[in-house]
Every structure is written in C-alpha cells, then in structure tokens.
Structure 1
C-alpha cells in the first residue's frame, strides 16, 4: 500500500543561530515520482550565509571547550532521534528525492544512526601524543584542537547519510557547522535539524538553503570558515576549490566514481550477479560508489550477462512511496535528461542494450515522473564513452577480458578512483588485484558495504580526504605542539 506523501506544515525557513529565519524568496521542491511541486524552500542570500558563519563563529568558543562527555551525549541523542522518527523519514526521503521507501529502513536510517554512535564513541579516543625527544630536559606533546567553523556542502542523493558523515565528526572534534543542502534535497536536512534543535546550543549547527552561485559561493569563500567539506561532482568541486583558495581554506572532497567490478572465471556467479545488481540498482543507481562498470572474464561473460539481464528485467519500477518499488525515479527532470543523453550516445556508438528497453508500465499518477528502467549495456571492447563516464543512474555497462593484468589496467584507466571490486575464489588473485586497483575502496566478493569505521574516499578525480572513520577526526582537528622546558641548561651565547 502506497505511503502518504510528505507535506510540510508551512514553507521552509533556514536555521541560523538557533532561530528559524525566512529567506526573501523561495524555490519549489519537486516530487520526482509525480513531477510536481510539493514544498517551498527558502532561497537564501549571501548575506544570510554570512550571518550563519557569524553565528557559528560566536558559538565556537563555548562549544570547543565542551567536554567529551557533552559531545558524546549529544551525538548519541541525535542517533536516538533519528531512530525514533523513522516514519517521518520513510515518507520524506521518497517524496524528496525518489529514494525507494523500502531502502529508507534498510539503509538511510540505520546507517545514519550508526555514524553518530560511532563518532560518539570516538570523542573519548580523540587525543594528541607525547613526542619522544633527545633532550631529557624537555617534555613535548600535542593536543588536538578543533579547526573552527566548518562549511558542509551536501548532495541530493543520500542527504541524511551525508549530513551524518560531515556533521558527526565535526561536532565530535568541537567544531561548529554551517550546512548547505542541495536544492534538490533541502527539506530532509531542515526536518532533521528541527528534530535535534533542542539538543544544540544556538549557533553550533546552522542551515542555509539556496543555490551554489549565491549561498554556496558566499560560504566557501568566507574568511571565517576554517574548512570546506563537499560531497558532489567534479565541476562543483573545482568551483568550490577555486573560491576557497581565495581565503586559503582547506577542503575535503568526496566526489564521483566509475566503480569497476571485475568478475574472474572462478567467481560464484550467483553471488556476483546479485552483488552487481545491488551495486548499481540500490539508490536508483544515483550513488558515487555504484558498480557502474562490469569487467567479465570471457569464459563466464555470456552466462553472467544472461543471468543479469533476466534479473534486471524483473525489477519493479514505480512510485518511491510504494513498498513494492525496487527502483524509483531519478531525482529531477534535468538529471533524467542527462542520464538519457548518456544512453543515447551509447546507442550511437554501437553499444548493445541487453536490458532496459522493456516497456515501462506506470500508474497514471506517475506519468510525469522521472522513471527509467534498470539498464544493462554491453560493450565488449570497452571503448564507448559510457565505459568511463559517470552516468549516475540505474545503468551499468559490461565488457569482457581474458588477461588479469590487462583488466586491472583497464579498470584503472579512468579519471576516477573511488570504488572497485573483484569476484574470485582464488585468494592469491583477490589480494593481488585488490593491491593493484587504484581506488579508495576495494571490495572482494561483496559490494556496497560501508560500515562505520572503514575509511571512505577516493583518489584522482574521486577526491581526497576520508570520511566515515577515525581518520576523519584528523580532518576536522589540528595538532598543537606544547614544548615544555624542564630545567635545561642555557648555553652562554651572548655577552
């Protein structure tokens, strides 16, 4: 039975300094299952972005002196609030960005809560070191200090999880934060902050909504922002880094990918096919870590493709709020058009469509939604543009190989380096290929497993910095060296 669509009680305002603040105008949030507006989001200004940074700056001295116990309790309470409001997000996320409702319960909610609990624990372990030195009259140690105001630029595909990835470690280290959600997924961030607002000292967390050229540019170029963290695409990252450079502000970049899944001749095909489908069709394929490129040993390629195509053709596409839906709509009309543009170019370059051309039967109410069938493309030689371009939709492309050294070279032959994987029952082969793949995450005989504590991030055009792990605490803090004299004799250099 279709869940009720989420409808806000009023137009959305921004959250600045502990107060809900109206923007001078607004823009529409569009339900991708219907193609129609469902909410009005405040379109903030550069001046309001400045006000949010100022509020975070004023809240910083008190918050950075808060005890580990205080920060730990806050993060644990946030996790509790998420779990206690599962029904809210089960209606909101599908309405907002087309996330299938069944995935909210199995992915978004448990993953988000786990991230806050993980960093709640790390607040107790975040510390400096004693530095061994030769001088017996010196004591040298470091303390880890928060950086200051963090500007977090969020994407639209998993707003609850990516908010957790940035907010939890930043708060755990004692920073204050200004969140700038995507214009396609602002409501979920605002509703989340409304749920936890009473837990927060004013100004510790702020939300400014709007568009990149106005609000985003004002945030990342602000001289009082200590660090910018972005999850997004390459063009946005380059614009953000160029603006941040003017203020010498460091950045963390979690960007796109073209995840290569290598299937060896000895792979368990039942598991490999299931994992490949999970890797590309979960989250409607709108994931940077999607298994969007399949490299199949020629001896098993035909059987694998037959099984995968048969599975893809059975996947239920429909309204994101329908529990029976397995793949929902793409997030917006412009993105839908971009994905279809990739498919059109692939066809023009001779790529075969093995699944995805079946008739798409939808309820009449969804006729204006942004739906696409799960698609499997086949380009044996791996020369088409779609092999190396990030499509960011329910589209994967398969190619064949015979030599394992060559396939690693082909897998590494893109500008991306976020996620990759190998399916094999040969332990030596698994270790060798995992070591040779140039990616921040390498899975062996699995995909899409991101437990809290395992560093997430990429190389090359997939970005830099790591989220979801202990190493992230180092991204949001800096060491201060304390060097103490214990009575060292002074050399008579003067007089």
Structure 2
C-alpha cells in the first residue's frame, strides 16, 4: 500500500482561477478540493459568481461570429491537436484524476486518456462531412437546399465521475459544429477541467472555450437560465436535470440530458460464465462503480445463479481497494464524504429490507494513513425476487444486486421495471435469444456478451429518466447545429394575382 510520504499526489502550482475570454481570472473566494484517498484538502478552487457566469457567456458571444466562420480545415486541425496534447500529457492526468476524484491511476491510462483523445479525433473527422442537403421539389424553377449552422453559445454542465471524457463528449462536437462553449465543472472535479483547458488554451481564439467554477445555485443557475445560451448540455442526476430544465424553460433553451441508470445484465443458463463474471465485475467495479452505465443489477437464470454468485463474490472479495494513486489499486475511494454516506445508506437500507450481503462487509485494513478516506469494498447484494428498493434505485458506487429468474418474458419485464433506461445487456450463446431480448429491453444501449464498450461513433444516451439526446456519435452533430433552408428562384413565372 502506498504511504502518504511517497505517494505522488498532484500538486497545483497555485490556487485555481477561472478562464474567461482567454484570461485567467480570480474569484472573490474559494472552496477546497479534497483528496478522497486521504479525506484532506489538496487545492483551492475559485468560487465563481453569477456575474462571472454572465461574463463568460458574453465572452463566448463575442467570439462566436469569427469562430462560426472558421473553415472546416481549421476546426479539424484544432481538434486533432487537442487529442495530441491529451496523449502527450497523459502523466498530468494520471496523477490529477486519482488525486481529485479517486479514479484508480491504472484506469487513467487505459480509459480516460485514450477515450478522450479518440473522441476529439472522431469529431475532427466528422467536421468535413457535416453538411446540409439538396431538397427535391416539384417546381423546376426552384432550387432548395439546406445548410447546417451552429446554434451559438453552449452551456455544458459537467459531472465529477469522468470529467476528462465528459468534457470531450460535449466540447468536441460543439466546437466541430462552430459553437462556442462555457464549461461549468462539478465542484468535486474542477481542477481536471481547468488543467485540460490550460493545456489546450493556446490552440483556440479567446472566448471560444470558457470555464466558470463554483456551485449550481449560483454559477449553474446563471448559465442555464441565460437568454444568450443557445443550448444546455448536462451529464448528471435526475434532480439536477429537473432544476436545469426548469431554469432553461424560462429562456426557451433546449437541452441535452445524459442522466442516471440502473442497468440490468441478464445472464442466460447457456452463458460463458467465466466471461460473464469477469464482464460483470468490470461493469460495476470499473471507475469505483461511479458510472451511469454500471452493471448494477444482475439477473441470473436459476440454473446458473449459485455458480455465478460463488465466482462473482469470490472475485469481489479479491479486489484490491486502496489509494487511488497506487498502481496496484483496483478500486479506489468514492469521490466525497457525502457521496460515501449516501452509498452506505443504500446498502444499510437494503439489509434492513432483508437483502443478503455476499461480499463487501470484510475489513478494509488500510492503515492509519487512510483512516479519513472514503473507501468502500466491492459489494455484492442478493435479492432473488428483486423486491428491495436497491433493485431500482441508482446507488452510484461499487455495489451490485443479484436476482434470479426462470422465465425470459418475465426477466425482460423485470429488467424494464425501473424509471431508468440507459444501458443493459444479455449474456447467451443463443443468437436468436440475444436478438429477441435486445429488441425488448428499454435502454439506449444494449450489450451482448460484453459490457462497458463505448467506441466513438456508437450513440450514447438513454430513454425514460436516463435522459434524451445522444452523445459520442454522428447524431450528436445534429444536436449542436440547426438546418437553414435556402430556397432560390430560378426564373419561375409569376401568377397575375394583383391589378
């Protein structure tokens, strides 16, 4: 286990400022960023004001006319250069993300950095294919065509769990379409956004990208209700989404919502159990379980349920929990004390409702250095009938609940019996069964014999309370642009209507 004396925590050069109109500006006061492995402060983040949010929108509006006229070649080159810099400075994020939100350091190099770079390169490629169309009409004297135009200023409200990837999901398509952007990071993951913008700031004209840090009721509210914001994009939870949409409604501002999930993994009796167990563990324990697409429900056929759970619980108990900066750590701490308490409350409520704990109640034994860290062992709950609240409530931690089933029509109904609809999956060697179940699941993403595969180009988004709109794909370009119809007269005769 890494000790505080030798751990290579990220150390900022100074207190963090905001980035508005190409300048780094101080806030009136600051709040502390807390290292979740230690439970102690490691940086000061500027606590922005509503006026500074207004200033950021004004800067983005000022930069918009020139940026929207930039050539496809310019935008393509810039997005490619952003990807290059992320990869070149991978070590920056390898120390920063674990220090900031508890992301295990080993995951930064295999997930955050390559996924983020791939997103910018994907949209760099799409820049040149982003176009309108010619519309066939009956009148031979009319030429009708469309062009795609940027919307304007985009307000992007970011989460804390995967800040580098989430910035890429929002910033890359918005810039590719010719929009300007104001980023509002989570108060639990502001430093990574600021360091990223510092890394790429010289690539962009002033005001094209702005960052205002602070809290939702002040900075967030000022942004999402601003009349000069053309669209709001949020990754977060349902309560935040409802507040954002209510504020945006006053200005008639459209939104994109990527929200929570309670994703069901259905395991048939003919599944390859070794692969299914490994994928189920990756699906719930990667990113400390703090992922909206986590495989937080296991629906196991009764013929294989006992075998699966014996293997899965043993694997969960073997996972190394510890300092997020330790390369040997497989699951790190949760992001904050309040979130840690919420996750524990879900587990305690499940136990009170009669749910068994198959793994997760073992002693951590991390030593005095980590006594204030927000650590939770990978937890496996067993509720065969699926009646407890934890079956449908999003926990957002390294906690999964297993159920059993015997009938496939019933299991689809149970999998869909939640207000969420983001991701789901089915493990089977029966191709017909896989197709049938995939078509019946209420989810924006359905995996077959895999989990957590999100290649650039495959639309990501949900249905029901998991949100609307799609990220990570060609369809996202349509979210950040609008068609303009141009109808040209080619010498049509006029009817004598007057005189």
For the aligned pair, the TM-score class normalised by the smaller chain equals over 0.9
* Structure-2 change in CA distance of 1:79 and 1:321 (3 Å): same
Is it true that 1:104 corresponds to 2:108 in the alignment? yes
Tell me which residue corresponds to 2:81: 77
**Residue 366 of structure 2 corresponds to residue 362 of structure 1:** yes
Runs of 4+ in structure 1 deviating by more than 6 angstroms, as ranges, are none
Alpha-carbon distance, 1:218 to partner = 0.0
| RMSD between aligned residues | 0.6
2:281 is aligned with 1:281: no
Separation (CA, whole Å) in 1 of partners of 2:371 and 2:118 = 37
Q: Is the 8 A contact 1:13 1:22 kept in 2?
A: yes
Preserved CA contact (<8 Å) 1:3 1:91? no
CA distance in 1: counterparts of 2:78 and 2:313, whole angstroms: 47
SS of the counterpart of 1:400?
Answer: strand
What is the aligned counterpart of 2:347 among 343, 346, 352? 343
Deviations 1:289-309 (A, max 9, x none): 000000000000000000000
Distance 1:125 1:3 in 2: 46
Query: 5 Å matches for 1:406-445?
Result: 406-445=410-449
Deviation at 1:494, TM superposition (A): 1.3
Q: In structure 1, what is the Cα distance between the partners aligned to 2:194 and 2:482? A: 30
Separation of aligned partners in 2, 1:210 and 1:356? 35
Please say if residues 418 and 439 of structure 1, whose CA atoms lie closer than 8 Å, have aligned partners that are also in contact. yes
* C-alpha distance in structure 2 between counterparts of 1:408 and 1:139, whole Å: 50
| Structure 1 residue 197 corresponds to structure 2 residue 162 | no
Counterpart in 2 of 1:173? 177
Alignment map for 1:75-224 (pairs within 5 Å): 75-224=79-228
Question: Which of 36, 39, 43 pairs up with 1:35?
Answer: 39
Task: Quote the Cα distance in structure 1 between the aligned partners of 2:477 and 2:400.
Answer: 35
* TM-score (norm: length of structure 2): 0.99
> Shift of residue 491 of structure 1?
1.0
For 1:486, the equivalent position in structure 2 comes to: 490
Residue of structure 1 in register with 2:267 after alignment = 263
Q: 1:238-295: per-residue Cα shift (whole Å, max 9, x none)?
A: 0000000000000000000001000001000000000000000000000000000000
Q: 2:305 aligns with which of 301, 307, 316?
A: 301
Aligned to 1:317: 321
SS in structure 1 opposite 2:155?
Answer: strand
Kept after mapping to 2: 8 A contact 1:153/1:228: yes
User: What TM-score comes out, normalization by structure 1 length?
Assistant: 1.00
**Partner Cα separation in structure 2 for residue 214 and residue 409 of structure 1:** 42
Q: Distance in 2 between matches of 1:365 and 1:201?
A: 45
1:475 to 479, 487, 492: 479
Q: Shift in Å at residue 400 of structure 1?
A: 0.4
**Deviation, structure 1 residue 364:** 2.1
2:247 to 243, 247, 255: 243
How far has the Cα of 1:346 moved from its partner?
0.2
Q: Deviations over 1:434-464 (max 9, x none)?
A: 0000100000000000000000000000000
Aligned counterpart, 2:337 = 333
Map 1:220-231 to 2 at 5 A.
220-231=224-235
Query: What whole-Å deviation, never above 9, does each CA across 1:78-123 have from its counterpart, x for those lacking one?
Result: 0001001011100000000000000000000000000000000000
SS at match of 1:124: helix
2:128 alignment partner, SS class: coil
Counterparts of 1:161 and 1:387, CA distance in 2 = 28
| Alpha-carbon distance in 1 for matches of 2:104, 2:314 | 21
Task: Quote how far apart the aligned CAs of 1:365 are.
Answer: 1.1
The alpha carbon displacement at 1:360 in A equals 0.8
Out of 437, 462, 465, the position equivalent to 1:458 is: 462
Post-superposition shift, 1:363?
Answer: 3.2
The alpha-carbon deviation at position 3 of structure 1 amounts to 4.6
Q: Corresponding residue for 1:60?
A: 64
Match of 1:370, SS state, is coil
Number of aligned residue pairs: give it.
Answer: 495
Tell me how far apart the structure 1 counterparts of residues 363 and 213 of structure 2 sit (CA, whole Å): 38
Q: Deviations over 1:145-188 (max 9, x none)?
A: 00000000000000000000000000000000000000000000
How far apart in 2 are the matches of 1:138 and 1:361? 77
**Which stretches in structure 2 are left out of the alignment for 5+ residues?**
none
Q: Distance in 1 between matches of 2:491 and 2:435?
A: 53
| Local SS of the residue matching 1:123 | helix
Displacement after TM superposition at 1:489 (Å) = 1.0
* 1:10 paired residue number: 14
- Alpha-carbon distance in 2 for matches of 1:313, 1:406: 31
Name structure 1 gaps, 5 residues minimum. Answer: none
Match of 1:391 in 2: 395
